[in-house]
Chains A and B, each alone.
Chain A
């Protein structure tokens, strides 16, 4: 019949290196017997005593780890920081890139634009899981083999620059650039993929096609310049007076021609106006007025906002 002690010894010895197993077994068995005897001598019944002694010795694998001097941790302090940094670096870039590539491939080569986002997310997630698994596994092995990575010691020169206080944050810049690109994309879209259709079901461009040889290229160029300005602004980190000036110039270069085109009824496609009765019957006037007011308001707000921020950042730098 196997006793609790036998089972405890078996469980412990399983996790101890084989060459030392027998010796540890004999010693541990004697020690357990000594402890049990001591308790029985104190008036305890043998079964309870055995249970209590084994409970006191604790989890067999923990005890075995102490005998084998083995660490009970996946990745210890020696490797933790480099593991964390490596993982963070890899995870911030690779899954995103893979996801975008997979999505684009699905949309173009796979000719399935609808499934692009889904397959992009799936690919990014799978990549992230793979990276996390293999990196962690490698470090867990390093931890167990006690391998020395021979990493250079940390020194003060590695300290990162103190973070610059920035008014222009990355999400804001991304949002602005995305808005501008969407506006830019609207120009060809309204021409080729317009929602408005003629009586014989051909698409009617929203804007006057004649503008393609006059004002639309100018507006497009202003938009491209605006993207460049956003990038410069982000690199600078805050509004400066030259940036305010450039921004005002671009704002006006976009708003003034647009307002003028709206007010002289030259923005919309005449065919579109002819197609929809409500546009002809006064709708166009109302739409024009609302558009002009919105453009003026947005432009003024942008000008004032940039100037205020530039002044605030200038006073802060002086202080």
Chain B
């Protein structure tokens, strides 16, 4: 019987990097923090608010996201969008993710055969 705590940490480790990929992908269409969180959750990327908001700021500082304040709505919101640099990084990350998937598949087949 696998310890729940052990399973939880492994899943967390596995998911950690994918939040960045998901955010860069989702922000090809500009969005603000909470709306992005809901979209990600809807697409099967549950992420904590206290992780996502600081992450968005960090990605912006790294130049992977650009931002723009929208003051037309009821409250001022900061809209993020994936930058050109962000696209470049995203492409590499997606390649790598695909490579991981391929490797895993190969390994599964190799072992099963």
Contact = CB atoms under 8 A, between A and B. Distances in A.
Interface stretch (A26-34, A108-116, A170-178): A26-34
A69 B57 CA distance: 10
B32 A67 contact: no
Interface string A26-49: 111111011100100000000000
Contacts of A38: 34, 38
A69 B77 contact: no
A34 B38 CA distance: 11
Given A56-B49, A58-B50, A62-B50, A67 B34 contact: no
B49 A30 contact: no
A74 to B, nearest CB: 21
A24 interface: yes
A59 B35 CA distance: 23
A28 B53 contact: yes
Contacts of B53: 27-28, 31, 67
Contacts of A57: 49-50
A26 B76 contact: yes
Contact of B76 (A30, A58, A67): A30
B50 A35 contact: no
Interface residues of A, number: 21
B41 to A, nearest CB: 11
B51 A31 contact: no
B46 interface: no
A66 B77 contact: no
Contacts of B33: 27, 30-31, 34
A33 B75 contact: yes
A268 interface: no
Contacts of B54: 63, 66-67, 69
Interface string B25-43: 0000000111100100000
Interface in A1-38: 20, 23-24, 26-31, 33-35, 38
A62 B48 CA distance: 13
Contacts of B78: 23, 26-27, 30
Interface of B: 32-35, 38, 48-51, 53-54, 57-58, 75-78
User: 3 shortest A-B CB distances, which residue pairs?
Assistant: A66-B54, A34-B34, A67-B54
Given A26-B78, A62-B50, A66-B51, 4 more contacts: A24-B57, A27-B53, A30-B75, A31-B32
